[in-house]
A and B are shown apart, each in its own frame.
Chain A
Amino acid sequence: MTLSPDQTILFDLWGLSLNATVFFTWIVMLVLTLGSILVTRNLRPDVPPNRWRTTLEVIVQGIESQIKEIAGRSDRPLLYYAGTLFLFVAVSNLLLVIPGFQPPTASLSTTTALALSVLIAVPLFGITSRGLGGYLKTYLQPSFIMLPFNIISEFSRGVSLAVRLYGNIMSGAVIATILLGVAPFFFPVIMDVLGLLTGMIQAYIFAILATVYISSATKTAPAPSPASPTEKETS
């Protein structure tokens, strides 16, 4: 029994081995990208939105409203980042119901990569918002004594994010695998349903926590007005 899809090597080409984590990540990326292209290919203002476009608008606007509630303002770059986090984790976990699919989020490498990306995104957003000096000063808040604690807190956030997502998804997959061996007809179905539920919750929690961390790093006092050009990316 393999606990991580990293250990599943699908094929080896010129010394580069492609494991299941990367492969199924590409599947998820393909599903998301093709779905988006199919829905938004004929998107014109004069064409009334169909059910798929409406679904995507509801999802995107829901993410945007969550970010607005947390950050207190609309932030397009944060929407791109946190929205992609949510959609990637959610679709990875939803595809769990497809037989043979191994969710990339069940790999500690994937959750570590996502946590590392959050760990990098927080200072990037903070420096973009406050400037380098302004962001570094936050590590000395409320006093310079807090500098080591703030650094530890910053890294522990990434570790907790990675372990929380990995633990939940991997444990669900492992329990489902074990129960498949014990009672192959009934319990796996329940576990898959629970896996879907916990997967969606974990996606939501992961994206929300990333948003909270980034918005706390970018929050300045007083908060800029919603019409500020820095809040909305010009397309």
Chain B
Amino acid sequence: MSIDWITVAAQIANFLVLIWLLKRFLYRPILDGIDAREAEIKARMQEAAEAEAVAKTTEASYRAQIEAMHAAQSDVSERLRQEAEAERDTLLAEAHARMDQERKSWQAHLTEEGQKYSIKLHRAGAGALLSLTRKALMDLADDTLEGRMAHHLIAQIKPMISDIERASGPATEAVFTSHAALPEAAQTALGAEFQAAFPNVTLAFLTDPDQAPGLVLRMGGAQVAWTVDSYLDGLDAVMQDHLSTGADLKAHPNEA
């Protein structure tokens, strides 16, 4: 066992050369390759991170758009609901107005029908009253209704002659109007009595179907009348009283 110092020197030189050779052909290429690959991986990671950031930004943008759409959808829903409520209120108001109008129309129709019925009833009652009165007078006193009406009117006129003359002024014509034509005898009697009271006045007899049964004297501005209106009003009052009593009985049958 000995040390050959020449060999030692040669081995040191060989070793230094080997260091240079391996540095040149092994370490640098390998480490540079690793560094390049790591740099490439790092660049790719960076690209991936940037892509991820872009994706997150896009995701956030889409989420914001979706939220905005949801908010807009809520607004539209709320607006549609309000419009629907307004439309409903309008339709309800129109329906109420139409119902009120129809109720008023119906009420007016009822009132009109009631008035027509009342007039019809009034006329029917008047006709019946006159017919019954005429028949009762004929049966009991052998007299006509028109004759009695003429007699009654003359009786009313006699104490009022001066008042009638003052009210009529310088009238030269007088007219007796009746619902139906007066009998000849009644006209004669009435004419005689009137000429006795007003000798300078010409007398005429007219019929007016629209007038209430009775007699009306018109002379200038004066008018004296006797009609069955007051009697018919009394009859109407009685009938209305009975009708209302009947309506109450219908509305409250248990109280009868």
Contacts and interface: CB of A to CB of B under 8 A. Distances in A.
B26 A109 contact: no
Contacts of A235: 28, 31-32
Given A40-B30, A60-B26, A109-B3, 6 more contacts: A33-B22, A43-B29, A113-B7, A113-B11, A117-B15, A117-B16
Interface of B is mostly: helix
Interface stretch (B33-41, B87-95, B234-242): B33-41
A40 B34 CA distance: 12
A202 interface: no
Interface residues of A, number: 41
Given A19-B4, A45-B37, A26 B14 contact: yes
Interface in A94-130: 104, 107-110, 112-114, 116-117
Nearest to B28: A235
A114 B15 CA distance: 8
Nearest to A40: B29
A71 interface: no
Contacts of B25: 33, 36-37, 40
A57 B34 contact: yes
Interface string A1-14: 00110100000000
B19 A114 contact: no
A113 B22 CA distance: 18
A112 B3 contact: yes
Given A22-B10, A25-B11, A113-B8, A108 B26 contact: no
Nearest to A81: B19
Interface of A: 3-4, 6, 19, 21-22, 25-26, 29, 32-33, 36-37, 40, 43, 45, 49, 53, 56-57, 60-61, 76, 79-81, 83-84, 87-88, 104, 107-110, 112-114, 116-117, 235
Most chain B CB atoms below 10 A, which of A3, A32, A80, A104: A80
Interface of B: 1-5, 7-12, 14-19, 21-23, 25-34, 36-37, 40
A107 B22 contact: no
Contacts of B29: 36, 40, 43
Nearest to B40: A45
Contacts of B33: 40, 43, 45, 49, 53, 57
A88 B14 CA distance: 11
A4 B26 CA distance: 30
A94 to B, nearest CB: 16
Contact of A109 (B7, B28, B34): B7
B160 to A, nearest CB: 143
Given A36-B26, A83-B27, A109 B15 contact: no
A121 B68 CA distance: 71
A158 to B, nearest CB: 12
Contacts of B11: 21-22, 25, 104, 107, 109-110, 113-114
